[in-house]
DNA sequence: ACAAAAAAAGACAAAAGTATCTAAAAGTCC
DNA sequence: GGACTTTTAGATACTTTTGTCTTTTTTTGT
């Protein structure tokens, strides 16, 4: 088990940040992103396909092909990527795995988890790839 | 992938809270805890064995046997359980999976994760099973 | 002593997540 | 058009986690 994101999401975030950092380069081949982000290339390729479907990336085949951002990187927020790859697990589900836990019927840890999850959602929602690339 | 804790940890926390809620009952059989916490009994049994080794629970075999708390439930904190079952994953590792990420060499998400992880550690450290049982 | 009941331990099975490989489709360059 | 390059898609394999089953050990009650 990874820390907070799935491995796929970790690799994607790392890869996208690498891409975002290189302002001059527009199109990236998977092996290059994989190498620079220390991710397994075939697995990252699969993940990037999901991001294409999710509207984060564009892809083009052939000799000068590769992946590029589908919109400006200051309009791509971490939450967009996490939602596509990890779904609502982190942003919605009960930390103790109780299926009918919600605000009106909270599990014993609900109030704590809410207090922690919200700042996480806020950070992911406010932080763009452009900002991440500056660090 | 579970939300923040492993499944084993989720089941354990739920089970221990069930036990903590019943102030009159001292010794619990695994099938009873499993039933009341909606956990798979054999898996929970394994997990409870880890908690015995970790000093959270006592166990006794035989006819009147079962599991009981090794110390008062207001001295058992959630962090104790999480540390035994999930290790330092949540409390130490890099959110982006970068092996040499730390305060002096932070990954781009480091400062955010730090701000989120610390309140989580605090909550887990301050909240005892006794307090959880009251909710 | 004996039978029953419980945890302990280890083997085993299933599921999910992670990772690789191969063939196909599509685009580029000559 | 043909060789090459890249993503796409699907199959496959590996690993970890989750879950079950069986046997053994220990204790209790009769």
- A133 contacts on B by Cβ (under 8 Å): 108
Average pLDDT over residues B76-104: 96
* The pLDDT of residue A127: 98
pLDDT digits (tens, 9 = 90+) for B91-121: 999 999 999 999 999 999 999 999 999 999 9
A97: Cα separation from own chain's centroid: 23
CB B96 within 8 A of CB B120: no
Domains along chain B with CATH numbers: 7-133 (1.10.10.10)
Average pLDDT over residues A98-126: 97
* The pLDDT of residue B107: 97
pTM of the complete model: 0.95
- In chain B, the residue whose alpha carbon lies closest to the alpha carbon of A125 is B112
Give the residue nearest to nucleotide D20 (CA to C1'): B42
* The pLDDT of residue A133: 97
Structure tokens at B2: 């579970």
pLDDT digits (tens, 9 = 90+) for A21-75: 999 999 999 999 999 999 999 999 999 999 999 999 999 999 999 999 999 999 9
* The pLDDT of residue B134: 96
- How far apart are the C-alpha atoms of B18 and B40, rounded to whole Å? 15
Structure tokens at A4: 């907070």
- pLDDT bucket at B1, cuts 50 / 70 / 90: confident
* The pLDDT of residue B135: 84
Average pLDDT over residues A106-133: 97
Structure tokens at A70: 């589908």
pLDDT digits (tens, 9 = 90+) for A81-97: 999 999 999 999 999 99
A1, pLDDT greater than 90: no
* The pLDDT of residue B104: 96
Q: What's the CA–C1' distance between B61 and C6, in Å? A: 5
* B97 contacts chain A (CB < 8 A): yes
As a dihedral over the C-alpha atoms of residue B83, residue B58, residue B41, residue B54, rounded to 10 degrees, the angle is 20
Cβ burial, residue B120 (10 Å; 0-12/13-18/19+): buried
Structure tokens at B85: 């079952």
- How far apart are the C-alpha atoms of B13 and B80, rounded to whole Å? 11
Average pLDDT over residues A99-121: 96
- How far apart are the C-alpha atoms of B39 and B35, rounded to whole Å? 7
- B109 contacts on A by Cβ (under 8 Å): 13, 78, 127, 132
- B11 contacts on A by Cβ (under 8 Å): 97
- Using CB atoms and an 8 Å cut-off, which of residues 9-38 of chain B contact chain A? 10-11, 13-14, 17, 38
């Amino acid at each position: 088990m990874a820390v907070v994101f799935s491995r796929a999401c970790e690799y994607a975030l790392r890869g996208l940040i690498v891409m975002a950092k290189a302002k001059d380069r527009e199109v990236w081949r998977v092996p290059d992103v994989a190498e620079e982000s220390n991710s397994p290339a075939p697995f990252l390729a699969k993940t990037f396909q999901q991001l294409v479907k999710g509207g984060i990336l564009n892809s083009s085949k052939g000799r000068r092909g590769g992946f590029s951002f589908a919109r400006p990187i200051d309009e791509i927020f971490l939450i967009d990527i996490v939602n596509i790859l990890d779904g609502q697990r982190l942003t919605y589900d009960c930390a103790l795995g109780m299926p009918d836990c919600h605000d009106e019927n909270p599990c014993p840890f609900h109030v704590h988890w809410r207090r922690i999850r919200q700042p996480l959602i806020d950070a992911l929602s406010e932080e763009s790839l452009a900002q991440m690339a500056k660090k």
